[in-house]
Structure 1
Amino acid sequence: MGSRHIRRASTATAAVATTTAAVAALLTTAPTATAATTTINPTADTYVQDSTPTTNYGTSSQFTVDNSPVRQSFLKFTVSGLTETVASAKLRIRVTNSGNSSNGGTWKSMADTTWTETGVTWNNKPVINGATVASLGSVANDQWVEIDVTSVVTGNGTFSFGGTSTSTNGAYYDSRESGADAPQLVITTGTAPSPTPTTSTPPPSGDPVLVGAGDIANCGTGGDEATASLLDGITGTVMAIGDTAYPDGTSSDYTNCYQPSWGRHKARTKPATGNHEYHTTGASGYFNYFGASAGDPSKGYYSFDLGTWHVVALNSNCSIVSCSAGSAQEQWLRNDLAASTKPCTVAYWHHPRYTSGSSHGPNTAVQPLYQALYDNDAEVIVTGHNHNYERFAPMNATGGLDNTRGIRQFVAGMGGTGLGGFGTIQPNSEVRNSSTWGVLKLTLHSGSYDWQFVPQAGKTFTDSGTNACH
């Protein structure tokens, strides 16, 4: 690393279009923010290197964390002029255009704020001895990394942060000398606007709500916090539809990436496993984190009831837990559906049978699960895997339009990790979006359901409609 540069018949049709009037209604019903946001650049940032113990790098346009050679980074911010209580504080650092790394470093607060940018070297470096504010997983070129430092930045004062890494694959960030890409400390004070989604839909009916998404927590993005903030304002059962903690579903990925955001809704979450969970043997990080809520660790599939609805969470990692016709999972599903006394059924799993996403194609291995649900008159399937939103018309198990008995499938992979685009548009794809994090909200009425895409704050894309149960 030493030579590397540092750096069914339904009202769906009417709901597809977002009209000017609808947008106006959204805007006029938005809550008024009384919060103030202040963005501060560092007064100092630099790094030190063990192989050059007397060299100062304070004027470099980049800083880095690495373990070969050992490099440590330091940032200092001076906060002044705040007159109200700090509601949140976010440290934002931008990965350089050569900064790809599997480990973005461990970042801590520091007691020492006396060091100077042009004076610090390896031999006289300050001690990185405070509370850990982030242990970052993979970071990618030209990506902003956001770290919650609200526990540290509680008012006016001077604050230091230090970064280290045990990885030989160093991560590189733009320093304050880089200009527009300089680090930021973003502080919100006062009363924040209500996180309740601003929509023109009527007040909740009191019927059960199933809400969530897949492809969620990534320490390298702020999308998981954006969607967790939406969940703060939506009651109901949370479906976390796989790839819940990047990059590998380890215990530390859940502790450092998922827990600070969607983790605050853990008690009401019913998850499904994705492929990234199985980067850790047996998806042990996932099953240990969610416990009994995730079902039998040898299976990863289970069911429960919500009001007049039966809900099934399945394991679409078909090379690990078979999805084939006659498999234990497929037979369990058929028996479970046959035994249900509820008139309406919704299922969710990670890999979509149908998708227009450019990263992952339609998954044929889950066909027997779709077929079993179709044979038992299920209403809805929600999936993830592609990092975008897509809604299909009701279809039979072979993808044919079926407005009588068809299942409406959603791809809801916009839970917080980096968003992805679309390739070949599949038949019966009705609505798509690849630029908005959000959650899919299903309101489960007796005999029908409403769907609603709830977008992250500041975005206007939405999608909503209703269908009757079969």
Structure 2
Amino acid sequence: MKRHALHAGLAALTLIAGLLTAAPPAAAATTTFPFAATADSYVSSSSPNANFNGTNSLAVGAAPTRISYLQFTVTRLVDPVSTARLRLHVQNTANAPSPNGGTAQEAGTGWSESTLTYANRPAPVGAPLASLATVRANTWYELDVTSAVTGNGLVAFALSSTNPDGAFYDSRESGTYAPMLVITTGPPQTGDNVLLNAGDISACSTTGATQTAQIVAREPGTVMAGGDLTDSGTAAQLADCYDPTWGQFKDRTKPILGNHDYISSTTAKPTFDYFGAVLPPGKGYYSFDKAGWHIVVLNTNCSRVGGCQAGSPQEKWLRADLAAHPNRCTLAQYHHPLFSSGGRESSAVRPLFQALYDAGAEIVINGHNHQYERFAPQNPAGVAEPDRGIREWVVGTGGRPLMSTFPAPAANSQVKNGTTFGVLKLTLSTNAYSWQFLPVAGKTFTDSGTGTCH
């Protein structure tokens, strides 16, 4: 009898221990509420008594003075507001791009879009909430207006610009491109356990990096800039194209080097200089810890760092680093993928993948192909191993022109998309992780799920 009682007690203790060591419960969830504008129009000093509601445009500018007004009816909120973002779409007009997209302020709500004029316009309330720099045609932009949204009820905004080269946005009558107020409720997110991943970022001739930067701007977390940061790695491109977009987040960025970062310089000196001490000089491979995970950044421009083969300086460093950090959960990020359906995979990185596999790593994230692809856990030979394999992502969706086709279907590929710019958000927890692909405004493709560490 005592033996049975002892066995039952041990079983109960084992069950309790298992529950205690399992992944912790997720933090209280946030909820997102999108609200369409209930009224919007603009006014112009050149026609102080005119109403422009019939134009289907929202204009800002300084010659003449043009101010846009938007009003939203906020309902159904129960929890406190954590973020509020005013989302606007630039029309395809002859004056785009505009060097100044405007500044948002709170405005009074006692106006009607059918009677609003410059002469009877409500005065802005309080300090400026947020501003837009250069805006381009056919592109979504967001302004953080959180401080003006405290709960349910009417809220209105005025958008104005001091630049004579005005900007034009779609009004609520445009349907798909109508203004939106996107409110998130719930506990504030600190981002201490979040990685935001995308590579192939800034092509100076396209607006993709501007769009994905809007995602990063609203998401707290460490930014993993996954290589090919500019067209050819020049100091001018970093200053003119990367810095105004993803360069806004330089203080929370962990950069990865891609092949384009070496085009203008065989040593990638401009990129090393731009990021400073975060990139070990001449190497570009390093590691850090976050939320109980060990994160490894590798440089797969193999010929620039003495090779990636077994016994190379980087491969030896990697094995030593992994041995010195026997964390239960390990993630690696580098530019060139070992597996891809996009036809640009690199067998040269297999020894690095092997070292990660030998150490029990969970995740590898790559770029190079301007696409999104997620693989099932697999070993270095490409054989599926659900219980031990590494899950690989290709996230080359940071802004460079996308590659819509997948000419070389790869085994174990689970999800593919080649038409959507976006950012992979990884949320790390003890012994587990979750992922979500965040598309740019106006796009609907996404991908999400959870996984556990080996």
Query: Which TM-score bucket, shorter chain as reference?
Result: 0.5 to 0.7
Distance across 2 between alignment mates of 1:195 and 1:265 = 22
Distance across 1 between alignment mates of 2:362 and 2:187 = 23
Choose from 437, 440, 444 the match for 1:456: 440
- Counterpart of 1:413 in structure 2 is 396
> What is the TM-score with the length of structure 2 in the denominator?
0.64
- Counterpart of 1:434 in structure 2 is 418
- Counterpart of 1:155 in structure 2 is 161
Choose from 13, 17, 31 the match for 2:34: 31
- Counterpart of 2:269 in structure 1 is 284
- Counterpart of 2:357 in structure 1 is 374
Distance across 1 between alignment mates of 2:182 and 2:223 = 16
* Identity fraction in percent: 46
Opposite residue 311 of structure 1, the aligned amino acid is I
**Preserved contact between residue 146 and residue 220 of structure 1 (Cα < 8 Å):** no
Is residue 2:309 matched to residue 1:324? yes
**Preserved contact between residue 392 and residue 430 of structure 1 (Cα < 8 Å):** yes
Is residue 2:215 matched to residue 1:230? yes
Distance across 2 between alignment mates of 1:440 and 1:89 = 23
Opposite residue 418 of structure 2, the aligned amino acid is S
- Counterpart of 1:300 in structure 2 is 284
Q: 1:290 to 1:207 in 2, by over 3 A?
A: closer
Q: 1:193 to 1:334 in 2, by over 3 A?
A: farther
Structure 1 residues 136-151: aligned runs within 5 Å:
none
**Preserved contact between residue 90 and residue 138 of structure 2 (Cα < 8 Å):** no
**Preserved contact between residue 258 and residue 335 of structure 2 (Cα < 8 Å):** yes
- Counterpart of 1:21 in structure 2 is none
Quote the offset at 1:397 in angstroms: 0.7
Quote the offset at 1:423 in angstroms: 1.0
Quote the offset at 1:297 in angstroms: 2.5
Opposite residue 362 of structure 2, the aligned amino acid is E
Distance across 1 between alignment mates of 2:336 and 2:384 = 20
> What is the TM-score with the length of structure 1 in the denominator?
0.62
- Counterpart of 1:7 in structure 2 is none
Opposite residue 408 of structure 1, the aligned amino acid is R
Higher relative contact order (CA 8 A, sep 6+): 1
Task: Please give the per-residue CA displacement for 1:366-394, whole angstroms capped at 9, x wherever unaligned.
Answer: 00100000000000000001101000000
Structure 1 residues 23-422: aligned runs within 5 Å:
29-32=32-35, 34=37, 81-84=66-69, 155=161, 158-159=164-165, 185-187=167-169, 208-245=193-230, 247-281=231-265, 282-293=267-278, 295-321=279-305, 322-357=307-342, 360-421=343-404, 422=406
Distance across 2 between alignment mates of 1:434 and 1:411 = 11
Structure 2: state its 5+ residue gaps.
1-29, 43-60, 71-85, 101-132, 144-158, 173-178
Opposite residue 159 of structure 1, the aligned amino acid is D
**Preserved contact between residue 193 and residue 291 of structure 2 (Cα < 8 Å):** yes
Quote the offset at 1:361 in angstroms: 2.0
Q: 1:366 to 1:79 in 2, by over 3 A?
A: farther
Quote the offset at 1:280 in angstroms: 2.1
Name the SS of the counterpart of 2:248 in structure 1.
helix
**Preserved contact between residue 373 and residue 416 of structure 2 (Cα < 8 Å):** yes
**Preserved contact between residue 81 and residue 156 of structure 1 (Cα < 8 Å):** no
Q: 1:203 to 1:107 in 2, by over 3 A?
A: closer
Quote the offset at 1:147 in angstroms: 13
Quote the offset at 1:455 in angstroms: 0.9
Distance across 1 between alignment mates of 2:316 and 2:409 = 32
- Counterpart of 2:121 in structure 1 is none
**Preserved contact between residue 140 and residue 442 of structure 2 (Cα < 8 Å):** no
Distance across 2 between alignment mates of 1:157 and 1:366 = 50
Opposite residue 280 of structure 2, the aligned amino acid is D
Distance across 2 between alignment mates of 1:256 and 1:92 = 23
Opposite residue 279 of structure 1, the aligned amino acid is I
**Which structure would you say has the larger Rg?**
2
Task: Please give the per-residue CA displacement for 1:415-461, whole angstroms capped at 9, x wherever unaligned.
Answer: 11111121121110000011111100111110011011111112111
Distance across 2 between alignment mates of 1:37 and 1:326 = 66
Quote the offset at 1:242 in angstroms: 0.1
Q: 1:348 to 1:415 in 2, by over 3 A?
A: same
Task: Please give the per-residue CA displacement for 1:151-174, whole angstroms capped at 9, x wherever unaligned.
Answer: xx95387439xxxxxxxxxxxxxx
Opposite residue 165 of structure 2, the aligned amino acid is F
**Preserved contact between residue 377 and residue 392 of structure 2 (Cα < 8 Å):** yes
Higher alpha-carbon deviation: 379-388 or 254-263: 254-263
- Counterpart of 2:175 in structure 1 is none
Distance across 1 between alignment mates of 2:62 and 2:448 = 44
Task: Please give the per-residue CA displacement for 1:112-139, whole angstroms capped at 9, x wherever unaligned.
Answer: xxxxxxxxxxxxxxxxxxxxx99xxxxx
Q: 1:269 to 1:188 in 2, by over 3 A?
A: farther
**Preserved contact between residue 36 and residue 188 of structure 1 (Cα < 8 Å):** no
Opposite residue 32 of structure 1, the aligned amino acid is F
Quote the offset at 1:223 in angstroms: 1.3
Opposite residue 346 of structure 1, the aligned amino acid is L
**Preserved contact between residue 331 and residue 361 of structure 2 (Cα < 8 Å):** yes
Task: Please give the per-residue CA displacement for 1:261-300, whole angstroms capped at 9, x wherever unaligned.
Answer: 111111000010001100121111111111112x222111
**Preserved contact between residue 273 and residue 349 of structure 1 (Cα < 8 Å):** yes
What is the aligned-residue RMSD (CA, Å)? 3.9
Distance across 2 between alignment mates of 1:236 and 1:431 = 24
Is residue 2:428 matched to residue 1:425? no
Distance across 2 between alignment mates of 1:157 and 1:289 = 30
- Counterpart of 2:27 in structure 1 is none
Quote the offset at 1:186 in angstroms: 3.5
